[in-house]
Amino acid sequence: MTLKKITADLMHTLVSSGTDIIELGIPFSDPMADGPVIQKHVKGL
């Protein structure tokens, strides 16, 4: 099973279970729009 299929299945399960909001994070080399916790974490990588 591919990661794409696993992710799609998970999203469908969350929605069918009543989840109102799903936030997906997309990695980006310059996290300027993220908060300080995420910015600090990215600098540590």
Structural domain that includes position 37? 3-43
Count of domains for the chain: 1
pLDDT digits (tens, 9 = 90+) for 10-29: 999 999 999 999 988 777 77
**Burial (CB count <10 Å: 0-12, 13-18, 19+), residue 2:** exposed
Using CA atoms, how far residue 33 sits from 20, 23, 40, in Å, is 23, 15, 13
Confidence of residue 9 (pLDDT cuts 50, 70, 90): very high
Query: Does 23 participate in catalysis according to the annotation?
Result: yes
Give the pLDDT of residue 13. 97
- Percentages of the chain per state (helix, strand, coil), in multiples of 5: 50, 0, 50
Nearest to 25 by CA among 35, 17, 16, 15: 35
Give the pLDDT of residue 4. 93
Instruction: Report the mean per-residue pLDDT for the chain.
Output: 84
Give the pLDDT of residue 42. 65
Give me the catalytic one of 9, 20, 30, 34: 34
Give the pLDDT of residue 44. 57
Query: Does 9 participate in catalysis according to the annotation?
Result: no
